[in-house]
Structure 1
Amino acid sequence: MRSVNVQIDLHELTKGNNIRYQLSTSQLIERILHKNEGILTDTGAVSVSTGKYTGRSPKDKYIVDEESVREKINWGNVNQPISKESFRTLYTKMLEYLHGCEEVFVFKGFAGADTKSRLPIQVINEFAWHNLFAQQLFIRPTEEELVNHEAQFSVVYAPNFKANPEIDGTNSETFIIISFEERVVLIGGTEYAGESKKSIFSVMNYLLPEQDILSMHCSANVGEEGDVALFFGLSGTGKTTLSADPHRKLIGDDEHGWSDHGVFNIEGGCYAKCVNLSREKEPQIFDAIRFGSVLENVVLDPDTRIPDYNNVSLTENTRASYSLQAIDNIVVPSVAGHPNTIIFLTADAFGVLPPISKLTKEQAMYHFISGYTSKLAGTERGITSPQATFSTCFGSPFLPLDPSRYAEMLGERIDKYEAQVFLVNTGWTGGEYGIGNRMKLEYTRAMIHAALAGELKNVETVKDPIFGLEIPTRIAGVPDEVLVPKNTWTDKEAYEVKANELARKFKENIKRFPNVTVEIIEQGGPIL
């Protein structure tokens, strides 16, 4: 095999005659339609299908086993190692493939709105619509910034190039490979655009902590007085809904950094789920889906081209990508001060966690590492009752480092900037799923507004005897009896059984993290 110089090879690739460099939104949409990659909706958004891959492929994600990162990476099922030889073999074949393509699209931009720590990136795509996706999701450079732009990390994305597992060292035809030494991400064998977004997030989750910046999988907004709030939560907990507040400006929807200067958005756009989307429920998302945005796997009416967001025949993971500029109520640029309030959202289908509780620093670190929510019966084959789901730091698939590193950084910042932390349960009350009811959104909003306004700093609380959480006894706009979970259950013994069952699951899950201190486990977790 010939010697490989990655950066020189990439430079040669991006200077080829088949390169379409930094095309405008209109130019990209023209290429998408010409190449039959997608069609337009009634509002002018691009609608595409991603084929058999309608979500991420976590079993096909790798980090190259390189000397400079070997001792830092938290190797395992999430961060699978792949050899340098396999990486270089695939890299060489991918570039040869792209040299032979009729057109290749290049976008240059940034990850990170903070100019002091942002990462200049380039995204090299086989598909025009993937390049449009990159343009929507990452931060676009100004004309002046583009002149001096030198990419420090590259994403090379060729869906029609497939790996041969027998000779390439992969699990399947699909691969997402990060090389921190070569500063390249290779993606092949899948058309799901989210792989490029999340691969750069994984990169930032490695690079930012090296600069003493906490990277976070959360949304963020800021109030009229400059007070900043973070919202952590897994799918189905209401993160997007609750962070979209008409009285607060959105900093970002999904990925942020927390530096000595404050909070900043890592992205320049949003990648929203749009199953059952309506203007009534999610007006910001609904109205953002227009010219320039991209719909993935959403079924359209063949005549009117109106999206049917209730149709999940292709997948429940239907997606919309759009620029932050498509939303009116945003912060420009996407930076703000230090968080005053941190919200951990969970949708507890066991119906035993308080609808809101105040967390100590140790409890915050414990629940951050836990990243708990529930999978509901019927949402996946084989699930017949609610199942506890734990996603470390609310983003385990994207964390290259040991989770305790991120938790320690969070704890340090909670102390330093005196942030108030709350655990908010948007799940069930009065019984588990199938017996109780979902917490009313109006109650959840009232609780969060009280937290953001500082009304819960000195409020009277009672301690949950099982989870050790401090529960406010009175919040304006919320019935008192709703605040303490046990009081909402008719069968108190059944509550005790379910609460202890979930507490044991928490205790079992935390054992997966040997570097978590005894102090966090004893002071942060369930009492029983």
Structure 2
Amino acid sequence: MELQQLGTKNPSINMTQLDLRSSKVNWNLDRSTLTQQTLRLGQGKLSDTGALCVSTGKFTGRSPKDKFIVKDSYTEQVIDWGDINIPIETHVFDNLYLKMIDFLAEKEVWIRNCFAGADTNYRLNVTVVNTTPWANLFCSNLFISPTEEEIHNFQPGWLILQIPEFLSNPNVDGTRKENFTIINFSKKTILIGGSAYTGEIKKGIFSVLNFLLPHHHNILPMHCSANEGKTKDVALFFGLSGTGKTTLSADSNRSLIGDDEHGWAEGSIFNFEGGCYAKCIDLSVEKEPEIFAAVKENTLLENTSFFPNSTTVNYTDSSITENTRAAYPIEYITNAKKPSLGGNPKNIFFLTCDAFGILPPISKLTKEQAMYHFISGYTAKVAGTEIGVVEPQTTFSACFGRVFLPLHPIRYAELLGEKLEKHPEVNVWLVNTGWTGGPYGIGRRISLKYTRAMINAAINGDLDEVAYKAHTVFGVLKPQSCPNVPSAYLNPRNTWENTEAYDQRAFSLAQLFVNNFKQFEDRASEAIRSAAPKTSL
């Protein structure tokens, strides 16, 4: 069968170099064409705003237990092997690669050349092979798009084969289940089979950068959002799900550098991506106007549903999944910065939703405390709705993204410490977006209005000259005044009716921190260990 090729590519690149024997290849098609192809194939529907709505099928989220890294002479001594970085042998990868290539023979594929990393000194060339046009649209929206000239001169770097229709045989192929994601650093290849969830593509490259940048360039990769003020001051926002990272980094007075993945090179904060992959459960124009406005033509909506007899998306419907997503180019955000990079940060915010009501709404951290809290990656989630279950549950995720870290978390914390040592002018803040006046069920949620006021005060320098007082248990420095925030709010102990109960709960939370940190003690320096909270007076 004669090969059919559509689109634009480097004329010197042929299918043999990619090991592909497909019958039809769509190269670097524009977003509108990919949307129309998806509709013609019956793989999606248009919403009334022009967004393309698709289903990812069986998988509506990542499958971390089925993500593997090839263990070979390159990775054996440097990867932090364990339950997160699960090793797999080279021959398993090789056999699956050949099977996937055979599977694609005589089939139609969509290929995209793109970049990961807005800083051209460190960006990766990435070629993605998809079996659906809408997955290729996702890659167009999320990665950085080359110019036409860059496409004509594009050189192969990393390869991603994403074939949801290909299922492995665990008994034969060495995987845990039929679905898998395998990263091979030696061969610069990622295999994704059995799952159509596009987040596997995005986070696969994130994991790659989380290995390559610190290991080869001494660059700190970060799971955070970033924005920039009119004076070119950059702010970083770290936080686990539910802490307000997306909400608080969205500021009409500041330019958005990126909402999820960044690197910190000397003099450069740069976005890894060219788009956003926003959660859209309960999305509304009132709560998140920028994201709401971005759901338009050529935005990809995953696993949403329509109101009956309409093409209007019902964002409150979680019947398919809570993890509904919108994938769109970063330029769909009106105040996005292009290119997506800025200078060294001036302020770093660690966001935590402390449902125990212990941590101050804002506090300043020393370098050692910053490293300790970075490694801890703390937040608390409200327990389920079972009768009698009202106690919050702690969540610790090292560096606010443990599942994406191929190296030991201490390596990333040390890099952060090196940056802070070199740039003592950088302020690091711990911001509690959770409860005050008592734990969940007794206290109240800290007002978003006050949280924004505190963050603005920190960014504007209004907290530079105020008095501070160390927290008795955690040692973090609490500002004693802040513009537009009642002073009583700034000292959480004073918001509790029973201060003895506050003290007891504070020591209990401190013990949870200490217990979690035990896994890192053997690699942590004495300076980091000294920043641990007190578990008793």
- TM-score, normalisation: structure 1: 0.96
Shift in Å, 1:518: 2.2
Q: Distance in 2 between matches of 1:382 and 1:116?
A: 55
Shift in Å, 1:526: 4.2
Name the structure 2 match of 1:453.
Answer: 460
- CA 1:255/1:473 → structure 2, altered by over 3 Å: closer, same or farther? same
Equivalent residues in 2 for 1:121-520, closer than 5 Å = 121-209=126-214, 210-378=216-384, 385-418=391-424, 419-513=426-520, 514-520=522-528
- Partners of 1:265 and 1:335 within 8 A in 2: yes
- Partners of 2:298 and 2:328 within 8 A in 1: yes
Deviation sequence 1:216-263 (CA, Å, 0-9, x none): 000000000010100000110000010011110000000001111310
Shift in Å, 1:409: 0.7
- Partners of 1:360 and 1:524 within 8 A in 2: no
Give the letter aligned to residue 464 of structure 2: K
Name the structure 2 match of 1:19.
Answer: 25
Equivalent residues in 2 for 1:26-175, closer than 5 Å = 26-101=32-107, 103-175=108-180
Q: Distance in 2 between matches of 1:435 and 1:129?
A: 47
Q: Distance in 1 between matches of 2:259 and 2:479?
A: 28
Shift in Å, 1:99: 1.6
Deviation sequence 1:149-202 (CA, Å, 0-9, x none): 112111110011111111111111110100000100000111111000000000
- Partners of 2:100 and 2:166 within 8 A in 1: yes
Deviation sequence 1:46-81 (CA, Å, 0-9, x none): 111122211110000000011111101000111000
Q: Distance in 2 between matches of 1:181 and 1:325?
A: 34
Give the letter aligned to residue 358 of structure 2: V
Deviation sequence 1:316-359 (CA, Å, 0-9, x none): 11111100011110111111110000000000111101100000
- Partners of 1:165 and 1:171 within 8 A in 2: yes
Q: Distance in 2 between matches of 1:13 and 1:128?
A: 20
- Partners of 2:126 and 2:158 within 8 A in 1: yes
- CA 1:9/1:94 → structure 2, altered by over 3 Å: closer, same or farther? farther
Give the letter aligned to residue 210 of structure 2: N
- Partners of 1:48 and 1:294 within 8 A in 2: yes
- Partners of 1:249 and 1:329 within 8 A in 2: yes
Shift in Å, 1:308: 0.7
- The worse-fitting range, judged by mean Cα deviation, of 446-455 and 8-17 is 8-17
Q: Distance in 2 between matches of 1:222 and 1:140?
A: 22
Shift in Å, 1:450: 0.6
- Partners of 2:246 and 2:259 within 8 A in 1: yes
Identity of aligned residues (%): 52
Shift in Å, 1:304: 2.1
Determine helix, strand or coil for the equivalent of 2:383.
coil
Q: Distance in 2 between matches of 1:493 and 1:57?
A: 44
Shift in Å, 1:385: 2.5
- CA 1:237/1:229 → structure 2, altered by over 3 Å: closer, same or farther? same
Q: Distance in 2 between matches of 1:425 and 1:380?
A: 26
Determine helix, strand or coil for the equivalent of 1:307.
coil
- Partners of 2:511 and 2:535 within 8 A in 1: no
- Partners of 1:376 and 1:383 within 8 A in 2: no
Give the letter aligned to residue 249 of structure 1: S
Q: Distance in 2 between matches of 1:148 and 1:382?
A: 63
Give the letter aligned to residue 431 of structure 2: V
- Partners of 2:21 and 2:105 within 8 A in 1: no
- CA 1:377/1:249 → structure 2, altered by over 3 Å: closer, same or farther? same
- Partners of 2:181 and 2:200 within 8 A in 1: yes
Give the letter aligned to residue 433 of structure 1: Y
Shift in Å, 1:12: 4.1
Deviation sequence 1:469-496 (CA, Å, 0-9, x none): 1100100111111111111111222212
Give the letter aligned to residue 201 of structure 2: S
Determine helix, strand or coil for the equivalent of 2:138.
helix
- Partners of 1:364 and 1:524 within 8 A in 2: no
Shift in Å, 1:524: 4.7
- Partners of 2:304 and 2:315 within 8 A in 1: yes
Q: Distance in 2 between matches of 1:168 and 1:12?
A: 22
Q: Distance in 2 between matches of 1:127 and 1:376?
A: 39
- CA 1:325/1:338 → structure 2, altered by over 3 Å: closer, same or farther? same
Q: Distance in 1 between matches of 2:134 and 2:533?
A: 46
User: What 5-or-longer segments of structure 2 have no aligned partner?
Assistant: 1-12
Determine helix, strand or coil for the equivalent of 1:85.
helix
- CA 1:395/1:222 → structure 2, altered by over 3 Å: closer, same or farther? same
- Partners of 1:356 and 1:422 within 8 A in 2: yes
Determine helix, strand or coil for the equivalent of 2:26.
strand
Aligned counterpart in structure 1 of residue 531 of structure 2, from 518, 523, 527: 523
Q: Distance in 2 between matches of 1:501 and 1:9?
A: 61
- CA 1:521/1:8 → structure 2, altered by over 3 Å: closer, same or farther? farther
- CA 1:24/1:442 → structure 2, altered by over 3 Å: closer, same or farther? same
Determine helix, strand or coil for the equivalent of 1:29.
helix
- TM-score, normalisation: structure 2: 0.94
- Partners of 1:233 and 1:346 within 8 A in 2: yes
Shift in Å, 1:129: 0.9
- CA 1:393/1:382 → structure 2, altered by over 3 Å: closer, same or farther? farther
Determine helix, strand or coil for the equivalent of 1:455.
coil
Shift in Å, 1:384: 5.2
Determine helix, strand or coil for the equivalent of 1:31.
helix
